[in-house]
Amino acid sequence: MIIMKPGATEEQICNVVRGIENCGLRADVSRGEYLTVIGPVGDESKLQFDRLAVLDGVKEATMVEIPYKLISREYTKLFTSAHQHNVIKVGNVEIGGEEIVFIAGPCAVESRDQLYRIAEGVKKAGAHILRGGVFKPRSSVHSFQGLGAIGKNEAEESLGWLSEAGKEYGLPVITEIRGESQVDLVAKYVDILQIGARNMYDQDLLVRAAQKGKPIFLKRHFGASIEELLSFSEYIAAEGNKNIILCERGIVPVGKGKSFTRYMLDLAAVPVMQKESYLPVFVDPSHATGRRDLIYSMSCSAAAAGANGLMIETHYNPAEALVDGKQMVTPDELKVIIDACKKINHVVADGHDENS
Ligand code: PEP
Ligand code: MN
């Protein structure tokens, strides 16, 4: 990490960048209000920090050992405060700002009519962003694979419905990309690219998606540590795309007996990741619990933990959903959840400065 002196000139900054590039690395330049910080991307053992330290305009040049330095508080503490996140603007929505943000919609897009009805419902309930899976990750090849399934030829049409429904109801849209071959197509239609839990470790996918320059919603793998989630999000940041939203969606439960939930929701991950990184952190209580009757309490808990937003699967008639009906709430239930979480978010924000 190279910290430039306040008022360092553009030429001095370029000179440091050249010094890094000459050693075969790339340079990530972050410009704060007063300071510029330069992070080498690549094998740092090839750099001689003492040489960089004596270049004109350089205040300090030190090696940062953490694997997720570009998204770390450490790297950016010079220009962000402890509760400030990287605010990501998507349409009129601010993610990581003061207000808690809600992504809602069906697990899977099933038809144009289904999607429009749900979009209208979640908009009325107060949601900000519309979700809907087209390329579904499924454990069984015999279950409904989503309209993006190979051989169906409905992927592009259903992505078009997402985009149109979003415009109709004033909601930016998000959908999952499951593989590299889907990146170009999906990026044409949606505002935020979701990389699901199962693909969190796919570094080629992360890089290709990052290069689209759109915000990336990265979900934690159910067997991943927090450090791994942060380290893999660094692949996105290293492409110069810092518009990353992290999502806790439950990890594998422990012990032998019944756990009663689909996964185990790790809510401590929320403040931990917010302290380690300046990226906004979301919670998905739907996949974490797999149970409609727990969505209200876990959403309120996530808001109390300080989450920047929630992703909640919603359907006007969960019983008829082809996927994940058991964990879906109705738009009416969503409204109650959103109203409660907004109040909790304000209470938590009021106490921040005194308590952490
Ligand atoms: C989803 O959000 O549609 C999904 C499949 O979630 P996850 O990747 O967390 O399992
Ligand atoms: Mn689902």
Query: Tens digits of per-residue pLDDT, 127-178?
Result: 999 999 999 999 999 999 999 998 888 999 999 999 999 999 999 999 999 9
Closest-lying ligand 1 atom to the alpha carbon of residue 137: 5
Continuous segment of H or E residues that includes residue 164: helix 155-169
Least confident of 27-41, 230-244, 280-294, 326-340: 27-41
Task: Give the pLDDT band of residue 234 (cuts 50, 70, 90).
Answer: very high
CA proximity to 290, closest of 253, 256, 332:
253
**Residue 49: which residues within 8 A CB-CB, separation 6 or more?**
61, 62, 63
Indicate which ligand has the atom closest to the C-alpha of 263. Answer: 1
Residue 275 to residue 86: CA distance in whole angstroms: 13
pLDDT in tens, 212-221: 999 999 999 9
CB of 133 sitting under 6 A from ligand 1: yes
Q: What letter represents residue 216's amino acid?
A: I
Continuous segment of H or E residues that includes residue 141: none
Residue 44 to residue 65: CA distance in whole angstroms: 9
Continuous segment of H or E residues that includes residue 285: helix 285-289
**Residue 7: which residues within 8 A CB-CB, separation 6 or more?**
none
Rounded average pLDDT over 49-64 = 93
Q: What is the pLDDT of residue 80?
A: 60
pLDDT at residue 233 greater than cutoff 80 = yes
pLDDT at residue 112 greater than cutoff 80 = yes
Q: What is the pLDDT of residue 76?
A: 73
Q: What letter represents residue 267's amino acid?
A: L
Residue 351 to residue 356: CA distance in whole angstroms: 9
> pLDDT > 90: what percent of the chain?
88
pLDDT in tens, 29-44: 988 777 899 999 999 8
Name which residue sits closest to atom 9 of ligand 1, judged by CA: 197
CB of 106 sitting under 6 A from ligand 1: no
Residue 138 to residue 150: CA distance in whole angstroms: 13
Indicate which ligand has the atom closest to the C-alpha of 199. Answer: 1
**Residue 152: which residues within 8 A CB-CB, separation 6 or more?**
145
Task: Give the pLDDT band of residue 356 (cuts 50, 70, 90).
Answer: low
pLDDT in tens, 181-207: 999 999 999 999 999 999 999 999 999
CB of 131 sitting under 6 A from ligand 1: no
Rounded average pLDDT over 215-241 = 97
Residues in the chain: 356
pLDDT in tens, 244-284: 999 999 999 999 999 999 999 999 999 999 999 999 999 99
Of 136, 176, 195, 217, the one to substitute when testing ligand 1's pocket (max ligand atoms within 8 A of C-beta) is 176
Is 188 in a helix, a strand, or coil? Answer: helix
Q: What is the pLDDT of residue 151?
A: 80
Q: What is the pLDDT of residue 152?
A: 84
Of 130, 138, 194, 200, the one to substitute when testing ligand 1's pocket (max ligand atoms within 8 A of C-beta) is 194
Name which residue sits closest to atom 6 of ligand 1, judged by CA: 196
CA proximity to 318, closest of 330, 309, 307:
330
CB of 249 sitting under 6 A from ligand 1: yes
CA proximity to 324, closest of 299, 289, 296, 298:
289
Q: What is the pLDDT of residue 77?
A: 66
Continuous segment of H or E residues that includes residue 95: strand 93-95
Task: Give the pLDDT band of residue 82 (cuts 50, 70, 90).
Answer: low
Mean per-residue pLDDT over the chain, rounded:
94
CB of 178 sitting under 6 A from ligand 1: no
pLDDT in tens, 83-111: 577 899 999 999 999 999 999 999 999 99
Q: What letter represents residue 37's amino acid?
A: V
Q: What is the pLDDT of residue 74?
A: 77
